[in-house]
Amino acid sequence: MESSGLVKRSNGHLGVTEPISWSGPTEYDVIKTQELEKYLVDAGLYESQEEAVSREEILGRLDQIVKIWVKKVSRAKGFNEQFVQEANAKIFTFGSYRLGVHGPGADIDTLCVGPRHATREEDFFTELHNMLSEMPEVTELHPVPDAHVPVMRFKFSGVSIDLLYAKLSLWVIPEDLDISQDSILQNADEQTVRSLNGCRVTDQILRLVPNIQNFRTTLRCMRFWAKRRGVYSNVAGFLGGINWALLVARICQLYPNALPSMLVSRFFRVYTQWRWPNPVMLCEIQEGSLGLPIWDPRRNFRDRLHQMPIITPAYPCMNSSYNVSSSTLRVMTEEFQRGNRI
């Protein structure tokens, strides 16, 4: 632990309101959190050291592959050799893997960021697809170019990968590229903005929670609970991974010094009392200078119809839970109440 691990009141706070409580853990909270962690380990929610290392290696290999791919593409387009040497692409991760809450055997959400001359259709979905299809480690390769967020799905040495593509307006992708800057979205097509969104939101969440370790343990617990109670599904009108992450992150902001055992009980207390459709937000909604549509119920009639708005913290801010209906919200509210009683 750091000196005391407590977030001081003086250095301001994270989130759109003051915390509900600054108080730190009691002896009891420490013991209960250890019990909670043991419970999550026994439930098989953590991967082994070997699996963790093998995932890291696979991501490293994937990064090498896209670097070879982008040089190949540059050469084929007739760029000179110096440009070909400088040509670069980069792999980012997002979702549960990047948040550090993935379980054994979970798939890895990845994003390939490439330069302006490497196109999505010909270069990513054709050239890179062909390179992957020739590799013995790659199996079950399924390109889905027409999806709302175009994706290439495959297994690499047995690990499931979802690979998205973002084509930036840069000629050269720097190795230390920071995709959290809004300027990265300049002149980007819609698919690229959507593809970048997952990474930008995930990174923003990690920046906006007071203690990442406490956030992770709490989120693992809440994901496990939601799956057990049958309310973990974006498609069915409940909440998916990103929604649960945002709800938990907000509780972490409201109780910056609380340990996971406390955060779990506060999760139920806060969301039992939450007056939907007041939105859950981790930060103020930024207008941004690029004119992309953002969630704004004052201006957009459709946004007023959202039952359970949970707003993403990266520009362009959107409601991540637009699938929730009045009936699924009722089911979730009942589940929160049941959890709170327990």
Q: Which residues are annotated as a binding site?
A: 94-96, 107-109, 162, 232
Provide the annotated binding site for Mg(2+). Answer: 107, 109, 162
Query: Residue 5 region, left (φ>0) first, then alpha (ψ -120 to 50), else beta?
Result: left
CB 145 within 8 A of CB 129: no
Cβ(159)–Cβ(54) below 8 Å: yes
Edge to edge, the sheet with strand 159-167 lists: 90-94, 108-114, 159-167, 151-156, 138-144
Pairwise CA distance, residues 210 & 59, whole Å: 28
How does DSSP classify residue 160?
E
The pair of three-digit structure tokens given for residue 136, joined into one six-digit string: 């013995």
How far apart CA 297 and CA 45 sit, in angstroms, is: 38
- CA-only gyration radius of the chain, Å: 21
Binding residues for ATP, by number, are 94-96, 107-109, 162, 232
Residue whose C-alpha is closest to residue 155's, from 142, 140, 135, 165: 140
Instruction: Give the integer Cα–Cα distance in Å for 176 and 321.
Output: 32
- DSSP label of 182: G
Q: Say how far apart CA 88 and CA 175 lie, in whole Å.
A: 8
Say if residues 186 and 101 touch (Cβ distance below 8 Å): no
Whether the Cβ atoms of residue 132 and residue 152 lie closer than 8 Å to each other: yes
Cα–Cα dist 70/248, whole Å: 38
| Count of positions (residues) in the chain | 342
Distance (Å, whole) CA 246 – CA 270: 14
CA gap 62, 266 in Å, rounded: 40
